[in-house]
């Protein structure tokens, strides 16, 4: 019998070119490959009205491939936080019918979707494709702090230091998985950490 999916767990698709004049792409690291793969099936001139906001990995790979698509605008950020003002401004000035494409890690997709929904972009105008790391963005349910790029189970909260069980429960409102103290009864009980979200 197949394992039952967690209802809150996001489901991702594959980017495909949508009709319209205005296309906004937000991607990080290997998310660039989702855009270049989609470009292979896009009609001529598709990127003439496109805006790409890209946050490369530490190696800076894929920048040239995205620039080669010749989008109307290309922005390279160093982190989601550094790209956030540009994203908010772009969404505030968006035309009716904007198509939004989100590709890369779950952390990027969740945070970008959160910003887009707050800006009034309808969820039916968004496409998502997960590419790259399975590292999770985790919220500690005890101190409410967010820890980025969690790859281990259990994980240590970067704010309060508690050892947390990283649950599969995902909060769309927070764009984060929930972490709950794994050794609340006996803090001396420390289970081994395993790297499972790569």
Which of these three, 130, 148, 171, is where a domain ends? Answer: 130
pTM of the model: 0.88
109 and 173 assigned to the same domain: no
89 and 183 assigned to the same domain: no
**Does residue 10 sit within a domain?**
no
Please count the structural domains in the chain.
2
Q: Which residues contact 66 (CB under 8 A, 6 or more apart)?
A: 27, 32, 35, 36, 52, 54, 74
> What would the DSSP string read from start to end of 57-89?
-TT-TTHHHHHTT--SEEEE-SSHHHHHHHHHH
Host domain of residue 65: 23-130
Per-residue pLDDT of the chain (198 residues; tens, 9 = 90+): 444 556 667 889 999 999 988 999 999 999 999 999 999 999 999 999 999 999 998 888 899 999 999 999 999 999 999 999 999 999 999 988 899 999 999 999 999 999 999 999 988 889 999 999 899 999 999 999 999 999 999 999 999 999 999 999 998 889 999 999 999 899 889 999 999 998
**Does residue 151 sit within a domain?**
yes
**Does residue 43 sit within a domain?**
yes
What are the contacts of 15-20 at 24+ separation with CB within 8 A?
Answer: 15/101, 15/103, 15/127, 15/129, 16/41, 16/127, 17/41, 17/42, 17/43, 17/46, 18/99, 18/127, 20/97, 20/98, 20/99
142 and 171 assigned to the same domain: yes
Which of these three, 90, 109, 130, is where a domain ends? Answer: 130
167 and 90 assigned to the same domain: no
């Amino acid at each position: 019998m197949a394992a039952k999916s967690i209802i809150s767990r996001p489901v991702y698709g594959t980017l495909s070119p949508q009709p319209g004049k205005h296309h906004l792409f937000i991607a990080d690291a290997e998310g660039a490959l989702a855009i270049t793969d989609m470009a292979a099936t896009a009609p001529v001139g598709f990127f003439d009205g496109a805006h790409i906001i890209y946050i490369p990995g530490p190696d800076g790979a894929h920048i040239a491939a995205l620039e080669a698509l010749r989008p109307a605008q290309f922005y390279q950020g160093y982190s989601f936080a550094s790209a956030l003002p540009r994203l908010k401004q772009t969404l505030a000035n968006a035309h009716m019918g904007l198509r939004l494409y989100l590709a890369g890690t779950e952390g990027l997709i969740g945070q970008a979707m959160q910003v887009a929904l707050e800006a009034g972009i309808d969820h039916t105008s968004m496409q998502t494709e997960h590419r790259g790391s399975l590292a999770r963005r985790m919220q500690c349910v005890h101190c409410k702090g967010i820890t980025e790029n969690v790859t281990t189970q259990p994980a240590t909260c970067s704010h309060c230091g508690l050892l947390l069980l990283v649950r599969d429960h995902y909060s769309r409102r927070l764009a984060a998985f929930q972490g709950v103290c794994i050794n609340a009864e006996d803090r001396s009980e420390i289970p081994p950490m395993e790297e499972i979200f790569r």
